[in-house]
Structure 1
Amino acid sequence: MSVKKMDEVPEKKTESKILAKMGKKEQGRCQKESVVLKNGQRTDNGKHVTVRVQRFRKSHVKQKLILFSVLAACLVILAVFSDHLCPYDPYAQDLSSALQAPSLQHPMGTDTYGRDMLSRVISGARASIFSTFILVAVISIFGTIVGLCCGYYGGILDSVMMRISDVCLAFPGLVFAMAIATILGGGIQNAIIALAVVSWPKYSRIARSQTLALKEEPYIHAAILTGDSSAQILVRHVLPNMIGPVLVTAMLDIGTMMMELAGLSFLGLGAQIPMAEWGSMMSGGRSMIQTYPWVVLSPGIAIFISVVIFNLLGDTVRDYLDPKNSRIK
C-alpha cells in the first residue's frame, strides 16, 4: 500500500463511522453536498471528510455539551437544596435501626448509628461538591494570575515563581498534600489549602506559555503603541485569548480534585466525623466493608457518578472549544 493510501485509510474509517450514525436522508445529503478539503479541489469519491460530516460532528458535540451540562447542574442543585431533599435528618441517630440493609424505608440502608445513608449521601453532596469548586476556583485563578505576570513581565519574578513551581512539582502531589494537611491539622479547610499549594503550578505554566506566545502578536504591539497600560493589555487582550486552555483544564480538574479531597478525608486529614462528606463517610465504614458493604458503597457510588459526569463535561468542553470545530458554521 502506498503512503498516500495509508494516509487515506483513517480518514475513510472516521467518515464511515460518522455516516453510520446518520439516517439515510442525511447520508444522501452528504453525498450530494460532498466537498473535499484537499488541495481546494471538488470531488465526490467519498475518501475525505466532507463539510456535511464536520457539521454533524459539531452538532453532536453540542448535544453532548447540553446533556452533560444538565447532569452537572442537577448535581449542583442537589448540593444547594440538600437540606430540603433529605428524607431524614442526616445527623439524627437511631440505634434501634443501626446497620439495616437497604429497604424501601431506607433505600441505601443505615450506618452504625442508625442514620439514613441516603440522607447523608445527599447532605454530603454540599460539602464534597462545593469544596471541590472552591479548590478549583482558587488554584485556577491564582495560577492564571501568576502565569500572566510571569509570562508578560519576565525577569526576577518569572525566575522565582517558576522555581517555586518546580519545587511543588518535584514531589508526588497527593503525598505532598498529605504532608501539608498533617502539619495544618484535620478539617476540610486545611485539606483545601493543602491541595491548593500543590496544584496551582499547572495553571501557572499553562498561562505563562500562552502569554509568552500572545505578547509577540501584532495587536499587542499596537496596544502598547496606543498607550495602554500593562494591566489593560493583560485584561483586554491577553486574558481573553488564553482563557480557553485554562477553562478546559479547570473543568477536567474538578473530578480529580474531588477524588483527592475525598482521599484526604478518608485518611482523616480532611472533613472530620460526623460531618456528612463522602470521603469521611467511607472512612467511617471501611471496617465494615465485608459485613455491611452499603455503608461504604453508598458514598463511593456518589463519588464515582459525580467524577464521571464532570470528567465527561470537561472532555466535551475541550472538544467544543477545539479550533477545528469553531471554524465550522
Structure 2
Amino acid sequence: MRNHTAINTFILLGLTDDPQLQILTFVFLFIAYLLSITGNMTIILLIFVDSHLKTAMYYFLQNFSFLEISYTSSCIPRYLYSLSTGDRTITYSACLSQLYFIYVFAITQFFLLTVMSYDRYVAICKPLHYVTIMNRRVCRRLVIGCWMVTLLLMLPLFILLLGLEFCNSNAIDHFGCDAHPLMKISCSDTWLLQQMVVICSVLIFILTLVCVVLSYVYIIRTILRFPSAQQRKKAFSTCSSHMIVLSISYGSCIFIYIKPSAKDDVATNKGIILLNTSICPMLNPFIYSLRNKQVKQAFTDLVTKLYSSQGTREILK
C-alpha cells in the first residue's frame, strides 16, 4: 500500500516565474509585512498601556490585531524566503502545519468579527447595560469560544488531510499550502474531504454573515431613531471602522470562494489571496486608528511620554 510519505517534499510554484515581477513582489510584500506587524503591534501595545482603552471593544480589537499578525506571519515570511533564495521546496510536515495555522487564524477572525458586531449591537442598542453585559469575564469567554469552535471544526478536516496520499506530482500551484491545490495533486479519493471543506466553508460564512447582518440591522434601526443628527453621526462613526473591515474581509472571501472560477482564474485567485493575507492585515490598524479619536489620543500620549522620558534622560546625563 502507498502512503503519504511516498512524497515528503513539495514544490510551491508561486505567482510568477518572471524575475523582475518576483523582485517587485518581494519588495511589495516585505514593506506590507513590516507595516502590518508594526501597525498591529502598536494597536496591541496602546490598548495594553492606556487606561482609557480598557473597554470590551478594544479588548476584541487587541485580540483581532493578534490574529492579524498570526495570519499574515503564517504564510508571508515563507513566501518572502522563497522569493529571496529561489528555494521553492517545503516539507510535508511544514506544508500541513502552514495550512493548519492559516485556516485556524482565518476562521477565528470571522468568528471574532461576529463577536465584535455583537459588541457594537450592545453598545448602540443597550448602552445603559453595556458595561454589565460586556464585562471582562464575558469578553474572555467569547474570545475563547471563537478559538474553541474553530479548533473543533478544523479537527475532522485536518484528520482527513493527514490521510491524503501523494505519489505522482509534488508541484503545488500556489505560493503557500492550501487545501484545494493539495487535493488536486493527491492520488487519494478526495470526494469526502472536498465535500467537508465546502460544507464547513459555507456554514462558517453564512452563519457569521447572518449574525453580522442581524446585528447591524438592529444597530441601524436604533440609530435612525435617534432624535439628533449629531447623535446619529457619532453612533455611525463608532461602527464605521468595523463595517469597513467587515466589507474587506467578506468581500474578498466572496470573490475567491463564492464566485465560480475557471482554470484561467487560478492566477487571479492566487493574487487576491496574496492581497488578503498581506494588505488586509496592513490596512486594519490604519482603519481603526485613523477613524478612532481615542486610539489617536492614546498614540499621541504614548509618544509624548516616550519623548518626555528621553528628554529627562538627556538632562540627567
TM over 0.5: no
Q: TM-score, normalised by structure 2?
A: 0.28
Q: TM-score, normalised by structure 1?
A: 0.27
Question: Relative contact order: is structure 1 or structure 2 higher (C-alpha 8 Å, sep ≥ 6)?
Answer: 2
Greater fraction helix: 2
